[in-house]
Amino acid sequence: MNGPPARPYVLLSCAASIDGYIDDASDQRLLLSNAEDLDRIDAVRASCDAILVGAETVRRDDPRLLVRSAVRRAERVARGLPASPAKVTLTARGDLDPTARFFTAGEPVRLVYCASTAVEKTRELLGRLATVVDAGEPVDPGWMLGDLAARGVRRLMVEGGGTVHAQFLTAGLADELHLVVAPFFVGDGRAPRFVGEGRFPWHPGRRARVAGVRQIGDVVLLRYALSERCREA
């Protein structure tokens, strides 16, 4: 019999402009998806045990990271699950605002994977709002995934930003990528891109497998299989 997997199934989710930007350079959050696609993302969230974003996304976007649909929340509860998946972030500095919606919205478990040097300060800052895990120095995403598996997370959705996505991709820790392309350009070099420079396991000599393509209103969803664990759509 197989033992529990060493790490959760990892699904990366991202929306980008035609020219590969995931935001603009302004303080306002850039809306890339449309309503139908946001509902699809809600369904993906509802299918996961935990949702992870980087600390910069918590600071800049202030996401709630909850399942929005009452029907999906009720279905999860009927299956003995919490209404929304656990929320997870990682930080080296521990500079997180306890009034951010990551910490105040909903009732789910909240985990903060924190570099050792900032653990004490972060625990003081967040109090009972989240479990602050001493994740070493620097935080190793592979170790973090092992810890999440030990906490019962079998399916993890990673919703960005680029720094976090790049780490999972370059470390070969991603099973599936959902990339939504919005029908416009940002065209501003100051804006963040999907990922920056790095040594990615997929390159001209090793092409990723397309697991599905779907038009959703005015956006396109590209699904890439990044490991053998990803089944065909």
Residues at the interface with ligand NAP (CB under 6 A): 14-15, 22-23, 29, 32, 53-57, 60-61, 90-93, 95, 115, 138-139, 141, 159-164, 167, 192
Number of helices (H) and strands (E) in the chain: give both, helices first. 7, 9
Cβ-based nearer residue to ligand NAP, 84 or 91: 91
By CB atoms closer than 10 A (0-12, 13-18, 19+), residue 48 is: buried
Least Å distance between CB 170 and ligand NAP? Answer: 11
Cβ-based nearer residue to ligand NAP, 8 or 141: 141
Least Å distance between CB 176 and ligand NAP? Answer: 15
Tokens 């990673």: give the residue.
158
Cβ-based nearer residue to ligand NAP, 56 or 75: 56
C-beta separation of 11 from 151 below 8 A: no
11 — alpha (psi -120 to 50), left (phi > 0) or beta? beta
Cβ-based nearer residue to ligand NAP, 39 or 75: 39
Least Å distance between CB 100 and ligand NAP? Answer: 12
Tokens 């999906």: give the residue.
72
Cβ-based nearer residue to ligand NAP, 75 or 147: 147
Least Å distance between CB 78 and ligand NAP? Answer: 30
Least Å distance between CB 159 and ligand NAP? Answer: 5
Measured distance CA(213)–CA(216) in Å, rounded: 10
Structure tokens that stand for 202 in this block: 């997929």
> Using N-to-C axis directions, what is the helix angle for 70-78 and 35-46, rounded to 10°?
10
Measured distance CA(60)–CA(73) in Å, rounded: 26
Cβ-based nearer residue to ligand NAP, 15 or 46: 15
Least Å distance between CB 56 and ligand NAP? Answer: 3
Cα angle for residues 50, 55, 56 (degrees, 5° grid):
130
